[in-house]
A and B are shown apart, each in its own frame.
Chain A
């Protein structure tokens, strides 16, 4: 047990550039170190349900899930729906980060119980600031039932 290191953030993003910038920011600002980056929505569900390549991972749920909306195979909205429908994963804060200003995406996400919905700024400074704020809030300030 002492060896167990809890996964702090499960991060789903198909765009490697965005992913690298996000990971860089989260790590350099010391918000999280143990981040798992997956490329699509199916992997997110495999991770939380201990399936596929995550069948043998050590037990425990991430402290928060960062979801991109547009992903191959299974998009962010479907993943969100699955997570909030399952008793085991319902309590994990889910933050959607997207490039989309689409009002309907926002409305649907909130109906499905998203915890935060964030539109990624284009310039890196604001982007980094936003990632930092979200990370700080959900990782450090917010309290979730354990």
Chain B
């Protein structure tokens, strides 16, 4: 069940990965667009604030114009009042203030002109003002120079002069009133424009801010959900890891159990087996004379079987000992090792296959164990090619991706790949023992030795066409 679950999870993994990629992209886009929106609103706000500052300046300007206009009117009125006072009283007390007021007027005009020079209508009005103001001042000056005796002399001439003075002051007032009205109108226009623009700005800012807020909130939600799913995945991975570790520990335990079991089995079986073998031999020695041929044959079967069992037990013992023995790692020169193996395999061998040994790269491992594996593989190649009158055994090597890979090939009976999964099992045989003797532990031992080194072992074959066995071991360069 747990395995199925794991497989299903593993199958979903790429999908999860792709959707996570998509989510990340989405968050990135959303975040960037929110940022762009905020930047736009910021720019807009900048211009709005700057526009406001300009408007404030314009309002100030309008008030400046109005103030300057009023000052001009006031100075004219002062001058007129002083002139009138002097003419009524003849008192020179009025002369000084009169001069002060008239002296201020050109300056007032200049200031006004400077203030309104951007407005053509007002420029024209100021020009009119200058004319009116100049002629009025001229008239006032003339009135004073004539030095009329005070009070008694309110004759028709003076009355006319006074009336004219009043008229010209009215003209002046009309112009300045128009100017002030113009400025007021401008101010009102500007205020309207500002109000409308401000309302639009407010809308844009409110909507833009709301959108970017929503987008950012969506980002936040996406990110938190991403974080949550990641945390869940981590928890799941941790759980899987833990169960894997547990499985490994169990596996290791049962492996060790199995090794201990096979060891004690083979150990404890030896004693009764020795008794069977020994006592049947004693029986044969002492009572052979009293048995007929069939009795002797039966006894022979007992002895043969017990001997076979003894060999099986010794092989099993050897196999179980492999697991208990720690590796003694060193650099292994394979060529002399293979030559030793060949010598040992061929020593008691009546037939002589052609042997071809190619380049053999060195490897790293436990020399005596690797030697055992090589003896088993080469022994098999020699054994299973013995029926071929042109028997040939090749031993080759190469280095591939940090591994030394060795190949033992024969042109013997081979085997059907259909039974491949039985090939490396303990006591598994693909040929009858009558044809090729052996207990079927040799390949299992070789496989065990190679896997113990972290290497791999595989084979290919076809019936009647020979078999090829490959195994890999860490190469010397590949080691850390």
Contacts and interface: CB of A to CB of B under 8 A. Distances in A.
A127 B271 contact: no
A120 B270 contact: yes
Contacts of A121: 274
Interface stretch (A14-22, A45-53, A72-80): A14-22
Nearest to B320: A101
A11 B318 CA distance: 29
Contacts of A128: 278
A121 B270 CA distance: 8
Nearest to B275: A17
A99 B267 contact: yes
A127 B274 contact: yes
B321 A123 contact: no
A99 B271 contact: yes
B303 to A, nearest CB: 9
Contacts of B274: 17-18, 21, 120-124, 127
Interface in A25-81: none
Nearest to A25: B278
Contacts of B277: 122-124
A15 B274 CA distance: 11
A6 interface: no
B307 interface: yes
A124 B281 CA distance: 8
B224 to A, nearest CB: 60
Contacts of A18: 271, 274-275
Contacts of B273: 122
B307 to A, nearest CB: 5
Counting chain A CB atoms within 10 Å of each CB, which of B268, B279, B317 scores highest?
A: B279
Interface residues of B, number: 20
Interface string A120-143: 111111011000000000000000
A80 to B, nearest CB: 20
Contacts of B271: 15, 17-18, 99
Contact of A125 (B267, B281, B282): B281
B170 to A, nearest CB: 136
B319 to A, nearest CB: 13
A38 to B, nearest CB: 18
A100 interface: yes
A24 interface: yes
A124 B317 CA distance: 19
Given A123-B310, A124-B274, A17 B279 contact: yes
B306 interface: yes
B266 to A, nearest CB: 9
A15 B268 CA distance: 12
Contacts of B272: 17
Interface string B292-311: 00000000000000110010
Contact of B314 (A24, A122, A125, A127): A122
A73 to B, nearest CB: 19
A17 B321 contact: no
- Report whether over half of chain B's contact residues are helix, strand or loop; otherwise say mixed: helix
B116 interface: no
Given A101-B317, A101-B321, A124 B278 contact: yes
B318 to A, nearest CB: 9
A62 to B, nearest CB: 24
B313 interface: yes
Interface string B259-271: 0000000011011
A100 to B, nearest CB: 6
Interface string B389-420: 00000000000000000000000000000000
A104 B449 CA distance: 23
A121 B274 CA distance: 8
A125 B281 CA distance: 9
Contact of A122 (B281, B282, B310, B321): B310
Contacts of A15: 271
B29 to A, nearest CB: 69
B100 to A, nearest CB: 130
Interface in B303-360: 306-307, 310, 313-314, 317, 321
B310 to A, nearest CB: 4
A123 B275 contact: no
Q: Which residue, of B277, B278, B317, has the highest number of chain A Cβ atoms within 10 A?
A: B278
B104 to A, nearest CB: 126
B285 to A, nearest CB: 9
A101 B270 CA distance: 11
Contacts of B270: 99, 120, 122
Contact of B278 (A21, A99, A101): A21
Contacts of A124: 274, 277-278, 281
Nearest to B272: A17
A125 B279 CA distance: 11
A120 B275 CA distance: 12
Nearest to A124: B278
Interface string B208-245: 00000000000000000000000000000000000000
Contacts of A101: 267, 317, 321
A26 B425 CA distance: 42
B215 to A, nearest CB: 73
A99 to B, nearest CB: 5
| Most chain A CB atoms below 10 A, which of B268, B274, B279, B281 | B274
The 10 closest A-B pairs by CB, nearest first: A17-B275, A122-B310, A124-B278, A21-B278, A124-B277, A124-B281, A99-B270, A122-B270, A123-B310, A123-B277
18 contacts: A17-B274, A18-B271, A18-B274, A18-B275, A21-B274, A99-B267, A99-B268, A101-B317, A122-B274, A122-B277, A122-B310, A122-B314, A123-B277, A123-B306, A123-B307, A124-B278, A124-B281, A127-B278
